[in-house]
Structure 1
Amino acid sequence: MNNSSFIRKIGIYFIGNFSSKMFSALLIPIYAFYVSSRDLGYFDYYQSIMLMLAPILVVAIWESILKFVLNEQTQKRKNHVIRTGVLFSLAMLTISYLLSMMFFLIFFNNYNSWFLLINMILLYTLGQIWLYSTRALQKNKIFAMGGIISTGANLLFILLFIIIFNFGLKGLLLSFFLGQLTLIIYLEKKTNILKLVFKNEKLDVLLLKRMLKYSAPLVLNLVSIWGLSSFGRFIIIYFLGAEMNGVYSFANKFSLIVNMLGTIVNMAFIEEALIANKDSDFRLKFENQVNNMMKIFMEFCLILIPAIVIFYKFLGNTDYNESLILVFPLIMYAILNIISTNVATVYQAKEQTNILLFTTVIGALVNVVFSIVFINILGIWSIILGQIIGSFTMLLTRTKIAKLKFSIDYNWKVFFLLIVIYFSISFICFNNGFWINILFGIGLLMYYLLKYKKNLYQLASMFRNGEDK
């Protein structure tokens, strides 16, 4: 695993994902003052449905596109893999779209929001296919620019449909739909993937079978991840109502900042692991990278805490001003989930996705059972504690199996120490005023800027050099 390549890829993906992933964080003030907790609750609920169905509809073929293209040596073979994956996806999505439209037209009189949901799922799934194909071809700057352009479009539509026209839930759905459409159009214009798809060639059935054999276990893994992260929305909607789901969703937006960083690192990490998994020193490098990332994620979250507390001081009498107490454990859940995802990269690199699936199912089951059993006793806290316990179970299982199979070990002492520091700082910031949090935040920021100045300088230098690969 090449450290310079790893850092360079993080830089490229940061540019693309800063816009798309941070977009949810940047929208927090708009949600706070222009979107009711009920509308936000239902939008979050629809997104949960989308994240569950997308990998099922196309058997998570995007994962196979990335792996198989990176393992091919010639451009012709790379194009062949992409063509096979995209053709399969288009066929599956066409069938699914027609069936779902018939279903809602027959059984629902008022189907406007459901119609937008169907299109949202379709465009999100296609967006994943085009994004993964772009990454597989290592057109990283195009990938990054696509994130920036689609986010700009999404923001424009949010301003138009939410603030100006006050469309509420339908405005949120329509904005997401159009943002994904913008992304696909841009990536297609730059990569010409459809030209590969509509070549006069037969579908390579044997290749498709190999790709589906690899991605099929990942479908169950992604659905299990959905069970770990999103199943709680269904419980909240059913037992506590859409308004409470909106409050939960708002508090959870801050964990998206952590997820943004984790997604960026994991995108680079999985590519490096897939390429370098046969290197003689793979185990040691992998172990060191995961241990380092554990510390970086935790330290990044320490900087976030005072900033979030300061933001809540400005919320006033909105639907969300009492949700601050939920933010701190939700960020901890995000940390556990991200570290667990990075640990699981070894199973994808070694093509042992069955272990990945097993550990995810275990974590999801723990979360679901705990949430259902305690919902009437603990209320919203049953969902949050269920997620934390489930994600920790998944992390613990993955690390134990990795140690047994690959002799990979992790620095648990430092990790648990950082957890204690995290909740201690959360307690201090929660119970202090505006200026104390500002001073505390500046102090933490300066400390970590000095600590990682060499890494930041290396990242900036690589991006200035204009490297794309």
Structure 2
Amino acid sequence: MSKNCRIHKKKLIMNEVSSGHLGKKLFKETLIYSIGSFGSKILSFLLLPFYTFLLTKKDLGEYDIFITTITLFIPLVSLQISDAVYRWLIDKEKQNEQLKGEIITNTFIAFGIGFFLFSVLFLIYVVLEPFVYKGYFFALMFLNCLLPILQSVLRGEGKTKLFAFNGLITTFLVIVFNVVFIYGLNLKVEGILLANIMAYSIACIVILFQINLFKYFSFANFNKKLLIEMSRYSLPLIPNLMSWWVIGSASKFIILHYLGPESNGIYAISSRFPSIIVIVNSIFILPIQDAFLKNDTETKDFSKLLVHFIKLEFSIIILLIAGAPIYTKFLVNYEFYDSWKYMAFLYLGVGFNTIATLISLIYQKKRNTLRITFTSIVGGLVSIICCFLLVNKLGLYGISISYFLGFFTIYLLRYVDLRKELNLGINDYVYFFYLLLIIGLIFGINSITFRSNLILFFLVLIIIVIINMKLVFKIFKK
């Protein structure tokens, strides 16, 4: 009898832990992440009007290509070891101080190897083919690889408050330095690059002391077997992220070639606005990832959460699509106003990318990153092929549609593969019908007047509030 009571008590505790993460504990984690993610992304979003009023289309296009190139090389240079260090550090039950030291040491050894190889190749390249801003490129490459690794260590150790604080202070510094270098010193593109370097450098130094890296890093902690295991996890993610780059960024080189630098400047603004979706998503995704990978949330609870998330995600997307002609008018310079026309399919792409990312947590839990990579490569190929097929006929519309199709392909592949395991209990035909309605809305707002857009936006807002009222009350009740 005593044994049965203990078993029953254990089951009750397990159920309490699972529901806790969907309730109070998950809400607390979400609140902490929201301070860093929401706050930092909103501050970053405020730079949009600042850039559009002080920089030309050509300046913005030039900067966007610069950052796009860096983004391509980050997974290659860092060996995407940031994902591995996070995945290994969250296994608290297997962890001790010695193992933590080995994980952190092997992480930075892997990064050191990757960056050394990049440095050699970069030195050879600049000797043969000099280019502007090469010093900035080298510095930003190092910092853009190092900062995510340090932030992953913070998350892996469960220091979510420090993680949130770091995100907030980093973006605040970026804004301050942007104002100083662009507005104060009139340095244009060079000012943006200097602002990022200064802000990221300070952020990295702060985290180095927050995690007490010098306590854990030692060549005596080098573990060849562990390094191989972590590399097997992280290396397959490199083509995965490069496929994301193909979908989200390679199109900018196609725009530059076929449509010119000014079109690239317009598209740069269009692609910034979907960061609103990223703001909201980052608030929820990071705590969900923490809870699920730490085995605190079961797959069935995760599936329920995913259904609610999809509903909210597409509600926000519909609102942003309907309101695009309105808020763009007030947030950017009139020269960039046409950028709203290309945002809708970018919003859809970001939405399906986020859902695909959440679904892929099941792969991450099993440490099966090869499946993530395969689906991303297919999506990348679909996107780039569509870019070449549509750019001449549809211009920037074709590019934005290709962006959506790439991430939609990734979502479909992962959903079909994991459908039985997820057991979402949703009607696929209903969701497909909703998608067709959204696409109809996209083409509709392009053919009506600004005043009609205002009326349509408020009608959509009322409908969305009514549809989601029950879910919102449920969340706040918890």
TM range, smaller chain: 0.7 to 0.9
Choose which of 187, 190, 194 in structure 2 pairs with 1:170: 190
CA separation of 1:409/1:38 partners in 2, compared to 1, >3 Å: closer, same or farther?
Answer: farther
- Give the distance between the partners of 1:147 and 1:224, measured in 2 at CA: 26
Work out whether 1:159 is the aligned partner of 2:179: yes
Match of 2:15 in 1: none
Shift of 1:38: 1.2
Partner amino acid for 2:412? L
3-state secondary structure, aligned to 1:138: coil
- Give the distance between the partners of 2:234 and 2:219, measured in 1 at CA: 26
Shift of 1:210: 0.4
Work out whether 1:379 is the aligned partner of 2:399: no
Contact 2:147/2:204 (8 A) holds in 1 = yes
Match of 2:34 in 1: 14
Match of 2:303 in 1: 287
CA separation of 1:30/1:13 partners in 2, compared to 1, >3 Å: closer, same or farther?
Answer: same
Match of 1:464 in 2: none
Match of 1:185 in 2: 205
Contact 1:55/1:223 (8 A) holds in 2 = yes
- Give the distance between the partners of 1:444 and 1:142, measured in 2 at CA: 39
Contact 1:149/1:182 (8 A) holds in 2 = no
Choose which of 322, 327, 338 in structure 1 pairs with 2:338: 322
Partner amino acid for 1:81? I
Aligned-residue CA RMSD in angstroms? Answer: 2.7
Listed as ranges, the matches of 1:407-418 within 5 Å are: 410-418=426-434
Kindly, what percent of the aligned residue pairs are identical?
23
3-state secondary structure, aligned to 2:220: coil
Work out whether 1:253 is the aligned partner of 2:272: yes
Shift of 1:442: 6.8
CA offsets 1:340-395 (integer angstroms, 9 cap, x no match): 11112111112221111111111111111111123222222221111112211111
Contact 1:62/1:128 (8 A) holds in 2 = yes
Contact 1:22/1:260 (8 A) holds in 2 = yes
CA offsets 1:319-360 (integer angstroms, 9 cap, x no match): 311121111221111111111111121111122211111111
Work out whether 1:107 is the aligned partner of 2:107: no
Work out whether 1:37 is the aligned partner of 2:64: no
| Superposition TM-score, scaled by structure 2 size | 0.86
Partner amino acid for 1:237? L
Match of 1:85 in 2: 107
Choose which of 311, 334, 338 in structure 1 pairs with 2:350: 334
CA offsets 1:42-82 (integer angstroms, 9 cap, x no match): 22222222222111112111111011111243341233212
Match of 1:369 in 2: 385
CA separation of 1:317/1:126 partners in 2, compared to 1, >3 Å: closer, same or farther?
Answer: closer
- Larger of the two Rg values belongs to structure: 2
Shift of 1:237: 1.4
Is the deviation greater in 94-103 or in 6-15? 94-103
Is the deviation greater in 302-311 or in 334-343? 302-311
CA separation of 1:267/1:365 partners in 2, compared to 1, >3 Å: closer, same or farther?
Answer: same
- Give the distance between the partners of 1:211 and 1:355, measured in 2 at CA: 17
Contact 1:37/1:246 (8 A) holds in 2 = yes
Work out whether 1:212 is the aligned partner of 2:231: yes
Match of 2:411 in 1: 395
Contact 1:33/1:318 (8 A) holds in 2 = no
* Unmatched runs of 5 consecutive residues or more in structure 1: 460-469
CA separation of 1:62/1:410 partners in 2, compared to 1, >3 Å: closer, same or farther?
Answer: farther
- Give the distance between the partners of 2:467 and 2:147, measured in 1 at CA: 35
Choose which of 155, 165, 168 in structure 2 pairs with 1:135: 155
Match of 1:28 in 2: 48
Shift of 1:251: 1.0
Partner amino acid for 2:226? L
3-state secondary structure, aligned to 2:236: helix
- Give the distance between the partners of 2:467 and 2:164, measured in 1 at CA: 26
CA separation of 1:379/1:403 partners in 2, compared to 1, >3 Å: closer, same or farther?
Answer: same
Work out whether 1:145 is the aligned partner of 2:172: no
- Give the distance between the partners of 1:316 and 1:370, measured in 2 at CA: 29
CA offsets 1:373-430 (integer angstroms, 9 cap, x no match): 2322222222111111221111111111112566566543453354355456654596
Contact 1:162/1:171 (8 A) holds in 2 = yes
Choose which of 144, 152, 156 in structure 2 pairs with 1:124: 144
Partner amino acid for 1:266? I
Shift of 1:107: 2.8
Shift of 1:271: 2.0
- Give the distance between the partners of 2:158 and 2:477, measured in 1 at CA: 21
Partner amino acid for 2:233? Y
Shift of 1:188: 1.6
3-state secondary structure, aligned to 1:276: coil
Contact 2:79/2:114 (8 A) holds in 1 = no
Contact 1:294/1:415 (8 A) holds in 2 = no
Partner amino acid for 2:375? T
* Unmatched runs of 5 consecutive residues or more in structure 2: 1-17
Contact 2:105/2:219 (8 A) holds in 1 = no
Contact 2:44/2:171 (8 A) holds in 1 = no
**Corresponding pairs, count:** 453
